[in-house]
Amino acid sequence: MPTALISSRSFGEISPIGRTILEQAGLEVRRVGAEHRPLDPVKLERIMADEQPDVLIAGAEPIPREVLAASPNLRVVQKHGVGVDNIDLDAATELGIAVGNAPGTNTDAVADLTVGFMLALLRSVVPAAVSTQSGGWERFIGHELGQLTVGVVGTGRIGRSVIQRLSGFGTRVIAFDVYKDVQAAKTLAFRYVEFEDLLRESDIVTLHIPLMPETENLISAQQLCWMKPTALLINIARGELVDEQALAECIRVGGIAGAGVDVFATEPPQSSPLLKLKHVIATPHIGAYTVEAMDAMARSCAETVVAVLNGQCPANVLNPSVLRTGTGTEDGS
């Protein structure tokens, strides 16, 4: 009986559908125990060697070559999420292991939280609630989202969904992306600008791009200097997109007004300087944490795994060559 090892924290915890699909397809489902967390590559490599699973359903933990090679049976690594920057895709391809993700399953959830951060920061919802609950009656003055300019960095599924939501407020939207979606710009009535111009013009900057070598520390001290002192930064994409030390210092000295942060370079982020700032809303990577998104994501992951094991090549497999040839090499040898 093939086995699926679950290293993702959330797969099967919120929605049972993914586990049900796997078990109905004849897989034995095992989960990394709580005693092994937080996971690191050394721990996971040892677990993979002991369990020797056919399938790994991964979360945000690093999946380097050593982890992939530890199980001689491994055929599929399925990300319970969208971004696969934590998985060594090149190594997986060389080892003949298919890597899949679950695109589109968390789009609405992340877009909703993005706009929620904007509104909470603009209206000082968190400090107002804390003040009232502690017996105070401090009435914070805020701003209206519809009167501001929002700069959206990245106009993929989530970026476009954020823009759609902002249209209901009448917000002026500008955007930056290396790959411009001209039709979306026309349909959703936003304008592409250069990155520096976006940072200088925007009252709110929100990031919706993948983590790659060229996007690491995309927002650092220099870029923060371009932003308005009244501006806000929202990051619900990847923690490494932003230099946390530079952002914390910028907020501390009034370089920008605040930030909404759902992701951190190290998670959990006990030592992040952002956690100590009153003008920062920090949440524990909950962008995709809705019942609806978790259900859709679990279903997508399980269906992808079953399809690959049955010899199919789903569109969300990121290295389809391994399924066409049976290995990462062109000739299948």
Residues 66 and 183 in one domain: no
Q: Which of 310, 304, 260, 305 is nearest to 285 (CA)?
A: 260
Q: Spot the catalytic one: 61, 160, 285, 303.
A: 285
pLDDT at 332: 36
Beta bridge partners of 282: 261
Residues 113 and 253 in one domain: yes
Residues 38 and 80 in one domain: yes
Domain count, the chain: 2
- Cβ pair 48, 42 in contact under 8 A: no
293: left (phi over 0), alpha (psi -120 to 50) or beta: alpha
For 292-310, b where at least 16 C-beta lie within 10 A, e where not — what string? Answer: ebbbbbbbbbbbbbbbbbe
Q: From first to last of the 333 residues of the chain, give the pLDDT tens digit.
A: 899 999 999 999 889 999 999 999 999 999 999 899 889 999 999 999 999 999 999 999 999 999 999 999 999 999 999 999 999 999 999 999 999 999 999 999 999 999 999 999 999 999 999 999 999 999 999 999 999 999 999 999 999 999 999 999 999 999 999 999 999 999 999 999 999 999 999 999 999 999 999 999 999 999 999 999 999 999 999 999 999 999 999 999 999 999 999 999 998 898 899 999 999 999 999 999 999 999 999 999 999 999 999 999 999 999 999 997 654 443 333
Residues 133 and 119 in one domain: yes
Is 139 among the residues known to form the active site?
no
Residues 125 and 162 in one domain: yes
Q: 333 in a domain, yes or no?
A: no
CATH of the domain at 234: 3.40.50.720
Q: 332 in a domain, yes or no?
A: no
Q: 246 in a domain, yes or no?
A: yes
* One-letter amino acid of 230: T
Q: In this structure, what DSSP letter does residue 146 have?
A: G
Q: Which domain holds residue 257?
A: 107-282
Pair of tokens at residue 243: 């230099």
Residues 222 and 150 in one domain: yes
Is 238 among the residues known to form the active site?
yes
Q: Spot the catalytic one: 238, 240, 244, 303.
A: 238
User: Whole-angstrom distance between the N-terminal and C-terminal Cα of the chain?
Assistant: 26
Residues 242 and 93 in one domain: no
Q: 69 in a domain, yes or no?
A: yes
Q: Spot the catalytic one: 51, 66, 216, 267.
A: 267
DSSP code string of 11-77: TTTS-SHHHHHHHHTTPEEEE--GGGPSP-HHHHHHHHHHH--SEEEE-SS-B-HHHHHT-TT--EE
Is 61 among the residues known to form the active site?
no
pLDDT digits (tens, 9 = 90+) for 282-298: 999 999 999 999 999 99
